[in-house]
Structure 1
Amino acid sequence: MALKVELKPNERIIIGNVVLRNADARIRFFIEGHAPILREKDILTAETADSPAKKIYLSVQLMYLDQDTARYHETYFELVRDFLAAAPSALPLVADINNLILSGDLYKALKAAKKLADYEAELISNALRG
């Protein structure tokens, strides 16, 4: 079964290790086969990974796109250790990400890492309020 993708004008998508950028018109295409896929709204870069949780997300994103978790383990676990030292209440979220990585479900791990970034933003917002 093919995956149907619609891109807005100038929207980007990563398929495998290739970045595709749409031209100036909306487009629909179908992807047949298996490759890691990320839409532009889910892509972080080194420049946009501007918080500890976003850096964890970026690490998981690289694992997902490369399909090579071992290559990023050292960086990932260092980031996680530092994050948990600052926010121990995030342990259940981090445990979920870890379990998904270990089970090889990197796309779901990426979604769980997004929840961690959302949680971090919530913690920061609460701290700024009082």
Structure 2
Amino acid sequence: MALKLRLKPCERVVINGCVVQNENRRYTLTVSNFAQIIRGSDIMQEDEADTPVRRAYFLIQNMLLDPRAAQEQGGTVAGMMAKLYTAFLRPDMQDRIMQAMRNVSERDYYKALACLRPVMAYEDGLLHRSTAPSVPEARVEG
């Protein structure tokens, strides 16, 4: 099934490591086969990777953007994800982390990133970040 990307004016998208930028009008691009794709607005900058979940997200993003990074960082990401899984007590967060791990193993990095976004929002709520969406507090079990 083809993927239709509707690009806004001047929007950037990375497809298999190649940065593509739209001109000054809306445009629809159709991708007919599997490709590693991420919109420019979804790309995290390195200085934003300042928490455990954000660091994992950033490394997976690098794997999506650069095939060499995928080969070099696979073991590191697996270790980080295992630690995240044990650190979060909420089953729904653990499920998302586990699904992200499955997606990484299948080299579907965009889906892995999508799985981690709610975990990132939850972590931001725990850290009381002012930019975080409203997320319920975690209950410490023990």
Q: Which bin holds the TM-score, normalised by the shorter protein? A: 0.7 to 0.9
**CA–CA separation in structure 2 for the residues paired with 1:112 and 1:25:** 31
**CA–CA separation in structure 1 for the residues paired with 2:31 and 2:96:** 31
Identical-residue share of aligned pairs (%): 29
2:62 corresponds to which letter in structure 1?
L
Residue 52 (structure 1) aligns with: 52
How far does residue 92 in structure 1 lie from its aligned partner after superposition? 4.2
> Which TM-score applies when normalising by structure 1?
0.72
1:7 corresponds to which letter in structure 2?
L
1:71 corresponds to which letter in structure 2?
E
Residue 75 (structure 1) aligns with: 76
**CA–CA separation in structure 2 for the residues paired with 1:25 and 1:98:** 37
1:122 matches 2:125:
yes
**CA–CA separation in structure 1 for the residues paired with 2:2 and 2:81:** 36
**CA–CA separation in structure 1 for the residues paired with 2:2 and 2:120:** 31
> Which TM-score applies when normalising by structure 2?
0.68
- Contact between 2:36 and 2:108, CA under 8 Å: does it hold in 1? no
Residue 2 (structure 1) aligns with: 2
Higher fraction of helix: 1
Unaligned runs of 5+ in 1: none
* Higher RCO (C-alpha 8 Å, min separation 6): 1
**CA–CA separation in structure 1 for the residues paired with 2:24 and 2:6:** 13
Unaligned runs of 5+ in 2: 129-136
Written as runs of structure 1 = structure 2, the 5 A alignment for 1:1-130 is 1-67=1-67, 69-77=70-78, 79-80=80-81, 83=84, 87-89=87-89, 91-125=94-128, 126=137
Say if 1:93 and 1:27 are closer, same or farther in 2 by CA, change over 3 A.
Answer: closer
